[in-house]
């Protein structure tokens, strides 16, 4: 009987009306191509199996992840088995070469007979699974058994991302976030096909990763946070646990050690790192721009060689972030000299370098060797001149776009937001969505852009509950800018899709901001 139930569009409450059968499912990020197809929807039932057509460990891993997501709310067994495509009552995952899908794309076909996800990579399968999640009713996200039916509308989707870097940044320095909190954030950002988690691991207020050759960085430099709380740090084993967890979600962790400014925690931990040999006290305020590593000391570079070396060994991804922002206490000539000495250290440890946009002032190397993360304030629709963006592009360096007045998730939504800052202005849900990497700076074209990233700085955010409030709903919009084609993008259309995410977040237990800009389902 369930198999003949009418199609239920994700998030639609109450009885299903006839026209809902052809309504477009509301998915974020919008797939590159989505067609609803005539015919029966698929009903996930007690009989459903998850079939993997190859013995690939990665594909089985994605199938197991899917079963784990859907089991608690459906209460079904959902066995993961290997078998041929076309098995009855099946959600089939096929890892197979396919043209036109790149390294992260997938195809998803739903008919009354089954669901099939095909992709050339396990990452593609994983993203197909995220789409399938959003085709199911919102209550599928619940952690306890709910009544069905579990209907998936008949669709054909062919999808691949626009950009290869779709990032979220978490500042674990201003306030420390536990391993469990960071993993939960990974769970949450996965739903929107984010593939990069940038961890801001050091700043004036705290050093958050154990470095074996310089142990006091963590034990002393990590012993407090903004407001004077206890702070904390990740042991290398804990950090590796986060990296492995991220990897299972097809997310690469990019570690950041901020230099030469934002270094008070390090300078407080080792007196010798200071030009005058005197360690400053630990810092628990929220000023920026007052600290600097000692650019003329050789010890500074031995220190960074050790730190970057240990970090590189903990990092399967190809990038290490060296910060480089707001070095207001480092004269420009010193700053340039410093970056020019640090980049070869990063390369010597087999990694490429990311830095905030100020690094474009140095002799940074072109191609994949360098990425500049641009946080300039941008108009959003009318391109503005940005000398740092221009300098990067001229040097052959691609950009990761994080315009502060659109993509900074620590900015308040409006004057009544209980947390957050507003130095870049208030960032409404609409404002976070209405911009594009190729329309914010003159001279920056599609091929100069590696992708987008949504940073959350944590001066005012003390736990994940507060982070969630700032990230959701805005992160979904940034994720869409990173994934979906630009053509046809409209706020009015987007806000109807966003409305469907509310019940999902509620079912997941995500503390999202019920912005009045959205007519939530
Ligand atoms: C600027 S933007 C910073 C951070 C602050 C943030 C607060 C950038 C690269 N640096 O140090 O935490 O503003 O919004």
Q: What ipTM does the predicted assembly reach? A: 0.96
pTM value surpassing 0.90: yes
Domain span including residue 31: 2-159
Q: Are residues 490 and 372 in the same domain?
A: yes
- Please provide the average confidence, as pLDDT, over all residues in the chain: 94
Judgement on whether residues 389 and 244 belong to the same structural domain of the protein: yes
Tens of pLDDT along 188-228?
999 999 999 999 999 999 999 999 999 999 999 999 999 99
My answer on whether 210 and 105 are in the same domain is: no
Contact 234 CB / ligand 1 (< 6 Å): no
**Which of 159, 192, 224 is a domain's end point?**
159
Angle between helix 464-471 and helix 474-483 axes, rounded to 10 deg: 60
Q: Is residue 516 part of a domain?
A: no
Q: What are phi and psi of 252, to 5 degrees?
A: -95, 130
Same domain, 141 and 233: no
* 173 touches 46 (CB < 8 A): no
Residue 515 lies in a domain: no
Is 233's pLDDT higher than 80? yes
Other beta carbons less than 10 A from residue 8's beta carbon: 23
Render pLDDT for 136-168 as a digit per residue (tens, 0 to 9): 999 999 999 999 999 999 999 999 999 999 999
238 is a catalytic site residue:
no
Residues 252 and 131 both lie in one domain: no
Q: Whose CA is nearest to atom 2 of ligand 1?
A: 375
- pLDDT at 86 > cutoff 90: no
Angle (nearest 5°) at CA 453 between 448 and 455: 140
- How many other CB atoms are found less than 10 A from the CB of residue 509? 13
Q: Domain ends where: 93, 126, 159? A: 159
CATH of the domain at 59: 3.30.379.10
Question: Are 15 and 70 part of one and the same domain?
Answer: yes
Average pLDDT over every residue of 493-516: 98
Q: Say yes or no to pLDDT of 338 above 80.
A: yes
Phi-psi label, residue 193: left if phi above 0, alpha if psi -120 to 50, beta otherwise: left
Given 326, 358, 480, 492, which residue is catalytic?
326
Looking at the fold, whether 360 and 281 belong to one and the same domain comes out as yes
Domain with residue 177: its CATH number is 3.20.20.80
Residue 366 has pLDDT above 70, yes or no: yes
Cβ(513) – ligand 1 distance below 6 Å: no
* Domain membership flag for residue 520: no
Q: Is residue 481 helix, strand or coil? A: helix
Q: Which residue among 258, 321, 326 is best mutated to probe the pocket of ligand 1, counting the most ligand atoms within 8 A of its Cβ?
A: 326
Task: Label residue 9 by pLDDT band (50, 70, 90).
Answer: very low
Q: Give the burial string for 397-431 (b: 16+ CB within 10 Å, else e).
A: bbbbbbbbbbbbbbbbbeeebebbebebeebbbeb
Q: What is the pLDDT of residues 276-324, one digit of tens each?
A: 999 999 999 999 999 999 999 999 999 999 999 999 999 999 999 999 9
Mean pLDDT of 114-140: 98
Residue 431 placed within a domain? yes
> Looking at the DSSP assignment, which residues form a beta bridge with residue 109?
116, 156
Q: Are residues 239 and 119 in the same domain?
A: no
User: Is the distance from CB of 400 to CB of 452 less than 8 angstroms?
Assistant: yes
Of 159, 179, 213, the residue at which a domain comes to its end is: 159
Task: Rounding to the nearest 10 degrees, give the CA dihedral for residues 197, 203, 207, 213.
Answer: 100
The total number of structural domains that make up the chain: 2
């Amino acid at each position: 009987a369930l198999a003949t139930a009418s199609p239920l569009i994700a998030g639609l409450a109450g009885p299903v009306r006839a026209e809902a059968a052809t309504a477009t499912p509301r998915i974020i990020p919008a797939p590159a191509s989505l067609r609803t197809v005539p015919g029966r929807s698929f009903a996930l039932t007690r009989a459903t199996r998850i079939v993997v057509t190859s013995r690939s460990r990665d594909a089985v891993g994605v199938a197991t992840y899917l079963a784990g997501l859907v089991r608690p709310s459906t209460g079904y067994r959902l066995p993961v088995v290997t078998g041929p495509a076309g098995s009855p009552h099946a959600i089939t995952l096929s890892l197979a070469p396919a043209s036109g899908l790149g390294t992260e794309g997938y195809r998803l076909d739903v008919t009354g007979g089954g669901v099939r996800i095909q992709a050339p990579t396990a990452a593609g399968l994983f993203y197909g699974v995220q789409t399938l999640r959003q085709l199911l009713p919102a209550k599928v996200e619940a952690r306890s058994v709910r009544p069905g039916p579990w209907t998936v509308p008949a669709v054909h989707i062919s999808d691949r991302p626009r950009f290869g870097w779709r990032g979220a940044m978490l500042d674990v320095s201003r306030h420390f976030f536990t391993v469990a909190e960071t993993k939960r954030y990974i769970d949450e950002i996965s739903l929107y096909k984010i593939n990069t988690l940038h961890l801001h691991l050091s700043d004036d207020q705290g050093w958050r990763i154990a470095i074996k050759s310089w142990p006091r960085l963590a034990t002393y430099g990590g012993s407090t946070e903004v407001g004077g709380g206890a702070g904390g740090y990740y042991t290398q084993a804990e950090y590796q646990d986060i990296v492995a967890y991220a990897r299972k979600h097809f997310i690469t962790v990019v570690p950041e050690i901020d230099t030469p400014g934002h270094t008070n925690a390090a300078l407080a931990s080792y007196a010798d790192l200071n030009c005058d040999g005197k360690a400053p006290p630990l810092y628990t305020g929220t000023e920026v721009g007052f600290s600097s590593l000692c650019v003329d000391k050789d010890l500074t570079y031995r220190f960074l060689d050790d730190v970057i070396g240990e970090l590189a060994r903990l990092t399967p991804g190809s990038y290490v972030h060296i910060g480089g922002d707001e070095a207001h206490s480092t004269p420009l000539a010193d700053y340039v000299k410093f970056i020019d000495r640090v980049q070869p250290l990063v390369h010597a440890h087999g990694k490429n370098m990311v830095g905030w946009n100020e690094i474009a002032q140095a002799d940074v190397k072109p191609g994949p060797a360098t990425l500049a993360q641009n946080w300039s304030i941008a108009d959003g629709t009318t391109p503005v001149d940005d000398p740092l963006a221009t300098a990067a592009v001229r040097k052959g360096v691609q950009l990761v776009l994080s315009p502060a007045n659109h993509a900074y998730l620590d900015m308040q939504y409006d004057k009544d937001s209980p947390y957050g800052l507003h130095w870049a202005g208030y960032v409404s849900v609409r404002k976070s969505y209405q911009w594009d990497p190729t329309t914010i700076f003159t001279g920056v074209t599609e091929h100069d852009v590696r992708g987008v990233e949504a940073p959350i700085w944590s001066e005012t955010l003390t736990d994940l509950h507060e982070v969630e409030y700032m990230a959701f709903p805005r992160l979904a919009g940034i994720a869409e800018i990173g994934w979906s084609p630009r053509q046809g993008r409209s706020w009015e259309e987007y806000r109807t899709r966003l409305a469907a995410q509310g019940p999902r977040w509620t079912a997941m237990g995500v503390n999202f901001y019920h912005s009045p800009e959205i007519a939530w389902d």
